């Protein structure tokens, strides 16, 4: 096979690939998929914070985003479908020094894993949950999921989705997350800043990254290429920091409300556990 590009391959290394398993690049994601942008944003946030990688555990579930944990040069675990949050809870409780980061998709975290999500948020276990929302199941071929908009076409809703979708930021806020934000992948730098902020917080933090799926969702619903969807994001997304997450619209035909919705302090689970344990051991 011959490449027709004239320029020599660069010997230089991408600055964030020090956080990435180089032997696993290029990753599996389709051209113009947004998951890679979120991975870049995450690595950029780690780099900006000079985060101690030994203290990081990246956990993911099943699906396209589920593969994310395997791309970072850190401790990582690829759980069964829907279970990254309880796994991360086990890690955090076993060693509170560690920071688990769950990177997973909307189907994994909010359908099969929905119960785990609300309970980890309720307990306020210290972890960052980074959800890449592409409005359906990607890995299995574009089926309807818990975030699929009403009326949307997927491979299992050929005549339009008759269900109502979750508003993820509203769900996270009401379940008790101490930090909640939503960005589209076009807000890549704001997303990275948001990840930085969440990594420094002590408690259950949630960031939703709205991403195109040019292969399935955007094709089924005639939104065009990944580039077209990013252009759409540029057109319709608005930033409304600390507005009511209940009213944070997410609709390709009207607008996508982005921003930070919650940023507060609450006692964290493993800290309370340690305090109680210390008190009991003194007796």
Residues 145-174 touching another protein, rule: CB under 8 A, are none
SS3 255: coil
**Nearer CB in complex with another protein: 56/152:** 56
Residue with Cβ nearer another protein (16 or 236): 16
What does the alpha-carbon distance between residue 198 and residue 200 come to, in Å, rounded to a whole number? 5
Question: What is the pairing mode between strands 127-133 and 99-105?
Answer: parallel
44 contacts another protein (rule: CB under 8 A): yes
Is there binding between residue 21 and another protein (CB under 8 A)?
Answer: yes
Stretch that binds another protein, among 128-136, 149-157, 160-168, 274-282 (CB under 8 A): 274-282
Burial class (CB in 10 A: 0-12, 13-18, 19+), 116: buried
Contact 214, 134 (CB under 8 A): no
Beta bridge partners of 131: 104, 208
Print the binding letters for residues 79-118 with another protein: x by CB under 8 A, - otherwise: xx--x-xxxxxxx-xxx-xx----------------xx--
Binding part of the chain for another protein, among 156-164, 215-223, 239-247, 270-278 by CB under 8 A, reads 270-278
Among 18, 48, 49, 55, binds another protein (CB under 8 A): 55
User: Looking only at residues 199 through 228 of this chain, which bind another protein when binding is defined by CB under 8 A?
Assistant: 226-227
Other C-beta atoms closer than 10 Å to the C-beta of 90 total 14
Q: Which two three-digit tokens encode residue 108?
A: 């994994």
């Amino acid at each position: 096979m011959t490449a027709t590009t004239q320029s020599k391959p660069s010997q230089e290394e991408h600055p964030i690939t020090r956080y990435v398993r180089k032997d696993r690049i290029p990753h599996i994601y389709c051209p113009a998929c947004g998951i890679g942008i979120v991975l870049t944003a995450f690595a950029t946030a780690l780099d900006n914070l000079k985060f101690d990688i030994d203290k990081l555990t990246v956990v993911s579930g099943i699906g396209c985003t589920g593969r994310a944990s395997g791309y970072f040069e850190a401790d990582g675990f690829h759980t069964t479908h829907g279970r990254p949050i309880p796994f991360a809870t086990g890690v955090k409780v076993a060693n509170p020094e560690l920071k688990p980061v769950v990177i997973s998709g909307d189907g994994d975290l909010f359908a099969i894993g929905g119960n785990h999500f609300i309970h980890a948020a309720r307990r306020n276990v210290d972890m960052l949950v980074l959800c890449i929302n592409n409005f359906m199941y990607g890995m299995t071929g574009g089926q309807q999921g818990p975030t699929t908009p009403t009326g949307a076409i997927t491979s299992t809703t050929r005549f339009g989705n008759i269900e109502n979708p979750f508003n993820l930021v509203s769900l996270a806020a009401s379940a008790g997350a101490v930090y909640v934000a939503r960005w589209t992948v076009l807000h890549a730098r704001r997303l990275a800043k948001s990840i930085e902020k969440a990594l420094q917080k002590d408690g259950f933090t949630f960031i939703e990254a709205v991403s195109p799926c040019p292969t399935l969702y955007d094709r089924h619903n005639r939104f065009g290429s990944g580039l077209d969807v990013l252009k759409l994001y540029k057109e319709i997304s608005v930033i409304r920091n600390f507005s009511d997450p209940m009213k944070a619209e997410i609709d390709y035909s009207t607008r996508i409300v982005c921003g930070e919705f919650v940023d507060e302090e609450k006692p964290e689970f493993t800290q309370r556990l340690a305090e109680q344990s210390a008190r009991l051991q003194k007796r």
